[in-house]
Amino acid sequence: MRGGTNVEPTVHGSMDLPMGLDDIGGLPDGLGNRDPGQDDKAKGAAHHGSNGKSAEQAKPPANDRIPSDLNRWKERLEREVGFNKSFEVQVREVPFGDRRIAFLFLSVFVKDATMNEVLKRLSHLDPSCLSHEALEAYLTQYVPAMQVIRTESFNSMLDQVMMGNTAFYIDGQEAVLLIDAKQYPARNPEQPVLEKVVRGSKDGFTETLLMNIGLVRRRLRDRKARFEMMKVGMRSQTDVCIGYIDDITDPKLVEAVRDKVKKVKVDALPLADKQLEEMMINKGWNPFPNVRYTERPDVVAAQMLEGSLVLFTDTSPSAMMLPTTFFDLVQHAEESRQSPFIGTYLRWVRYIGILASMFMLPLWFLYAQNMAVRPDWLWFVGADKTGDLPLILQFIIAEMGVDLMRLAAVHTPAPLVTAMTLLSAILIGDIAVKTGLFINEVILYMAVSAIGMFATPSYELGLANRIVRLGLLVAVYFFKVPGFVVGTTLLFLYLALARSFNSPYLWPLVPFNGKALLAIFLRMPMPESDTRPSLYRPKQNQKQPT
C-alpha cells in the first residue's frame, strides 16, 4: 500500500488495492522507461501468484506446450474442448496495442463483476510502451482476483478452465495466466431434512464444497485442523477433501484414507460421495453402512474433535465420517441439545424404536404361529383370525406397501404428500381390513415397525434393518423358533465380525469397553465426557483441558 491507502475486499472476497492510474506510483511511465533491473523484477513478478508464491513449473513436453500464436491456440481449443461448438466455451479477444490478448472461460461459471474489473484495470496501462512481460507482471500484482497463477501447460490450462477459472492469453507468449474468477451455482444453507433439531443450528451443507468447509471452519477454528484437497475421476475431476485435526486424528487412519482415495480409478463421480464410498470400500452386497453420512456441520466438527476423519465431495450436501460403528449410526444431534436426563430418555426411546423395527414383527409372527412358546404376560399377542391371506403374505405385501408409499412421498409434490399419505394409510389400509385380506394386528405392528425405522437417524441403517426384519420373518415362517434364534445369532455374529476401516463394527460391545458402552446408553454431562473414544486411536486421549 502507498500513501496509507486502505485495503478493502472486492465483490468476490479477495483483497484488492482500490487505486487509480495515478495511485499506482506512475506504473505506465515505469513501463516505458525501465532500467535492466526493473525488467528483471517484472519478469520475476510474472512467475508469482497473488499470494506471493512461485507458480513456475518445469517445462512441459512439446505436445503439451501452449502455442505462441493466437490462431493456432484457438484451433487447438476447437479440437480439445469444442470451441465454436459448445456454447459455454468462449474466447473473448481484446486488441491491446500491437498485441492481441484473449480470455478463455466457461460462460456458466465466469463471474462478470471480476472480469469487468480485470478489463478496467487493463485500460489503465499505456499500450504503446507495454511489453508482454510487464503486462504479465502488472496483472499478477494488481489483478483483483483471489489467486493468479502462470502455467505453460496446455492440459493444465484446460483443467483449470473446466473448473471455472479464466485463462488470460497473450499473443506471442507460450504461457497463460489463470485467474480465479469463477462463481458456481449454489444455494443457501438450509436445515437438513433428515437431521432436524428443535434446538440448535439450522444450517446444513450444500452442494458447494468450499461453502461446506467454511461452515465447519466457522465452528472449528483450530489451527491444527487440516483440509487436504484431491481430485478423483478422469473425466469429472471431482474435488474430494479430507478433513481431520492433525494432533488428534490417528496418522495411520489419515494415511490409509489418503491412499485409498488416490487409488480410486474411475471415469467420473457424477453421484459424488456414494460412488466414492463404493470405490474405496469393497463391501459387496453388505446392506449395512460402513460410513456415517451427515449434512450437519456441527456434527462434523464434533466428530473431528473426537478423532474421526471426514470426507467431503464436491456437488454433495453430505459428508462421510469414518470409521463408524453400529452405535454411531443411531446417534442424533438432538440428544446433545437437551439436558443429560432428557437426552438419555430420548436416546432410549430411539433405541427401543430401532429394536422394534427389527424384531417386533418377527416375534409377533412367531408367537402367533406358536402359542405354546408365548409367555403368559404376553397374553395379548396373537390373532384370533388370520384373514383370507396367509400371515407371511400379509407381512410381505404390507412391507412392500410401506416402501411404495415412501417412494411415492419422495416423488410427489410437497402440497400433495399429505393427501397421498392419508389416502394410502387410511383408505387402503381400512378397506384391506374390512374386506378380510388383512387383519388389524398386521397393520398395527407394521405401523409400529415403520415408525421405528423412520426414527433411525441413519437412513441407510434404517433400510438395512428392514432387510433384517424381512429375513427374520422368512426364517420364522419356515423354521419357527429355531429360525428366529439362528437368524438373530447369525446377524449378531455378522455384525461382530464386520469392520469399518479396520475398526470393529459393534464397538464398544464387541470388543467390550464398559466405560464407552455406558456413554452409548447414557448421554453423559459435558464435564464428565473428558476422554476420546479409544476406537479412533487418537493422539490425545484427554478431551477436556486440565
DSSP per-residue codes, 383-406: -S---SS-HHHHHHHHHHHHHHHH
Q: For the chain, which residues make up each domain, given as ranges?
A: 70-180, 209-324, 336-504
- State residue 130's pLDDT score: 52
- State residue 254's pLDDT score: 96
- State residue 423's pLDDT score: 73
> CA 221 → CA 93, 120, 242, 250, distances in Å?
44, 37, 17, 20
Positive or negative: CA dihedral 518, 522, 528, 532? positive
- State residue 463's pLDDT score: 93
* DSSP secondary structure of 68-128: SSHHHHHHHHHHHH-TTTSTTEEEEEEEETTEEEEEEEETTTB-HHHHHHHHHHHTTS-GG
Which grid coordinates belong to 21?
492510474
Q: What is the chain's pLDDT, residue by residue, as a tens digit (546 residues)?
A: 333 333 333 333 333 333 332 333 333 333 333 343 444 443 343 334 334 333 445 788 989 999 999 999 999 999 999 999 999 999 999 887 777 889 999 999 988 887 887 777 777 766 655 555 665 666 666 665 557 888 999 999 999 999 999 998 988 888 888 888 888 888 899 999 889 999 889 999 999 999 999 999 999 999 999 999 999 999 999 999 999 999 999 999 999 999 999 999 999 999 999 999 999 987 788 999 999 999 999 999 999 999 999 999 999 999 999 999 999 999 999 999 999 999 999 999 999 999 999 999 999 999 988 888 888 888 888 777 777 889 999 999 989 988 888 888 888 887 777 777 777 767 777 777 887 888 888 888 998 999 999 999 999 999 999 999 999 999 999 999 999 999 999 999 999 999 998 899 999 999 999 999 999 999 999 988 889 999 999 999 988 775
Positive or negative: CA dihedral 366, 367, 369, 373? positive
Core vs surface per residue 126-137: b (16+ CB within 10 A) or e:
eeeebbbbbbbb
Cα–Cα dist 148/15, whole Å: 13
> CA 509 → CA 253, 283, 327, 360, 458, distances in Å?
22, 22, 9, 22, 19
Cα–Cα dist 275/313, whole Å: 10
Cα–Cα dist 521/348, whole Å: 7
In this structure, which amino acid lies at residue 314? D
What is the SS3 assignment for 382?
coil
| Residue 365: Cβ-neighbour burial (10 angstroms; 0-12, 13-18, 19+) | buried
Core vs surface per residue 413-422: b (16+ CB within 10 A) or e:
eeeeeeeeee
Strands 499-500 and 503-504: antiparallel
**What is the distance of C-alpha 10 from the center of its chain?**
29
Diameter of the chain measured on Cα atoms: 105
- State residue 388's pLDDT score: 81
- Cis amide prior to 323 (ω within 30 degrees): yes
242 neighbors 261 (Cβ within 8 angstroms) = yes
- State residue 113's pLDDT score: 80
- State residue 319's pLDDT score: 97
Cα–Cα dist 337/332, whole Å: 10
Give 3-state DSSP helix, strand, coil % of the chain, rounded to 5.
50, 15, 40
